[in-house]
Structure 1
Amino acid sequence: MRKTAGLLSVLAAVAAMLVTTPSAAQAADRDPVVFVHGYKGGAWNWNDMIADFKADGWPANRLFAFSYDVFQSNKTTAAQLRSYVDSVRAQTGAAKVDIVAHSMGSLNSRWYLKFNGGTSYVDRWVSLGGPNHGTNLTPVCSWLITSCAEMAPDSSFLRDLNAGDETPGAVRYQTYWSSCDEFINPDSSTILSGAGNTGVGCIEHAWLLVSDPVSQQVRTLLKS
């Protein structure tokens, strides 16, 4: 009986290896993911979502949270993001990365794509509650902070960013927007021509970062 039980244990272990090894290999072959936080945020904003990615099989060495000075121009941040993506590609050996951005991170990452050569190095770009066409809340901060002024619907920054093709290159663009986002007004500001645009129901702006259904949708998208 002991020999039979031992044999069954060995067979079970081998079967587990056969099941998990291809999955792990597939996860290691996925594009690295660069997470870009929003206005007055930080890399820590992504702790919950990164934990979800890890639990879903993404290796820790394929997940990167980009930090930047939220008070500087989004153009400056875009140039820094270009260098960061280059370093991620060099570190991982990947040809391209996926970008997941929240709020204002959608703007500086889009500027990187459109004006800093990012379309050559990004496979998928995902926006959570991005003010892609501006928000009417900027008067409370635009007089003092450059990046805030750039989020005004009539800013020269957004006019340049949205002129012509809003989703240039072969990048696959996806936005997720909330019907009751208290910071992005109007809610439809997030929607981009040429992107997949998905409403996620009534979720507050910051909660887009920690919503389990949103996180699941993002992970499912990046697996496809």
Structure 2
Amino acid sequence: MLSWKRLVRPLTALLLTAAVAAVPATAAHASSTTSTGWNDYTCKPSAAHPHPVVLVHGTFANATDNWLALAPYLENRGYCVFSLDYGQLPGVPAFHGLGPIDRSAAQLQTFVAKVLAATGAAKADLVGHSQGGMMPRYYLKFLGGAAEVNTFVGIAPDNHGTTLDGLTQLLPYFPGAEDLISAATPGLADQISGSAFLTKLNAGGDTVPGVHYTVIATKYDEVVTPYSSQFLSGSDVHNVLLQNLCPLDLSEHVLIGLTDRIVFHEVANALDPAHATATTCASALS
């Protein structure tokens, strides 16, 4: 008789494939321990941009590949830019963000403290993509991050989990599937809608006082579904649908964080609202 475990494995593989379908091929061989031009601990924030920017990658990504476009974009605008690897699993190089998310948040806490000590800044700004746009909320809410962060920008974040276009709703029909995913990739299991992690994260409200939140989503997101679940509720939240800025923009879950210069312009606006300019389709040329 065919065992449940043999039936579960294809479903697990399907979930993993859906989550990483568009991950750039360079991630498989790029070094994730060093960055290209940023992570300069001698950088001192300017009066114009007093907060160092910490970039937080997504699931199956790393500190380098996720930010090959956005990091230089921000550096060229005068920011001190840093990025970290988190959520590593033993024996899995380059593809990170797979460990338990509460532990990943503790890694972020340590990294931000290191950046603040090196730069002398009082607070940092955070910009994250996908899981990296959600995980820092645990740091802000439970690990004292609200005292260390000024602005948090989430690009395509799974703030309330994802159904992966309904695929996760099949899990109850495969006994043992959720346990298998939790054991192999706990960071992925934590992101499924209704998980214990997300229930704890969102209990009592989405935000914490003192932090400015911006969420940028695309209606073509095929990984964090429904896309509206990405938006936050709170008194200091700016929720943005990319297609309201530029109806012609077809970026989906990966490209919105990796290469979309319209999104980059909106990120720059969030980091420096005093000098914000309108974000339109033409912003792709700026």
TM-score (norm 1): 0.83
| 1:47 to 2:47 alignment | no
The secondary structure found in structure 2 opposite 1:123 is: strand
What is residue 223 of structure 1 aligned with on the other side? 272
The secondary structure found in structure 1 opposite 2:135 is: helix
Q: Give the aligned length.
A: 197
**Alpha-carbon RMSD:** 1.7
What is residue 64 of structure 1 aligned with on the other side? 82
CA distance in 2, matches of 1:122, 1:177: 22
The secondary structure found in structure 1 opposite 2:69 is: helix
CA distance in 1, matches of 2:63, 2:121: 22
Deviation at 1:25, TM superposition (A): 4.5
Contact 1:129 1:176 in 2 (8 A): yes
1:149-190 deviation line (CA, Å, top 9, x unaligned) = 111111010010001121112100110010110111101111
Q: Mapping of 1:139-150 within 5 angstroms?
A: 139=168, 143=181, 144-150=184-190
1:33 to 53, 56, 60: 53
2:241 to 195, 199, 202: 199
Rg comparison, structure with higher value: 1
TM-score (norm 2): 0.66
CA distance in 1, matches of 2:270, 2:202: 24
Contact 1:74 1:107 in 2 (8 A): no
CA distance in 2, matches of 1:169, 1:150: 25
| 1:173 to 2:221 alignment | no
Q: Can you give the 5+ residue segments of structure 1 that lack an aligned partner in the other structure?
A: 1-23
Q: Give the residue type in structure 2 aligned to 1:75.
A: D
Q: Give the residue type in structure 1 aligned to 2:83.
A: A
1:128-159 deviation line (CA, Å, top 9, x unaligned) = 00010111127499523101111111101001
What is residue 145 of structure 2 aligned with on the other side? 118
Deviation at 1:223, TM superposition (A): 1.4
Deviation at 1:106, TM superposition (A): 2.1
Q: Can you give the 5+ residue segments of structure 2 that lack an aligned partner in the other structure?
A: 1-44, 89-96, 172-176, 244-249, 274-286
The secondary structure found in structure 1 opposite 2:125 is: strand
Contact 1:32 1:96 in 2 (8 A): yes
1:91-149 deviation line (CA, Å, top 9, x unaligned) = 00001000001001123211101110000000000000001011112749952310111
Q: Give the residue type in structure 1 aligned to 2:206.
A: E
Contact 2:46 2:78 in 1 (8 A): no
Deviation at 1:53, TM superposition (A): 1.0
Contact 1:78 1:108 in 2 (8 A): yes
Identity %: 35
| 1:211 to 2:260 alignment | yes
The secondary structure found in structure 2 opposite 1:182 is: coil
What is residue 104 of structure 1 aligned with on the other side? 131
Contact 1:37 1:101 in 2 (8 A): yes
Contact 2:134 2:154 in 1 (8 A): no
2:101 to 70, 74, 81: 74
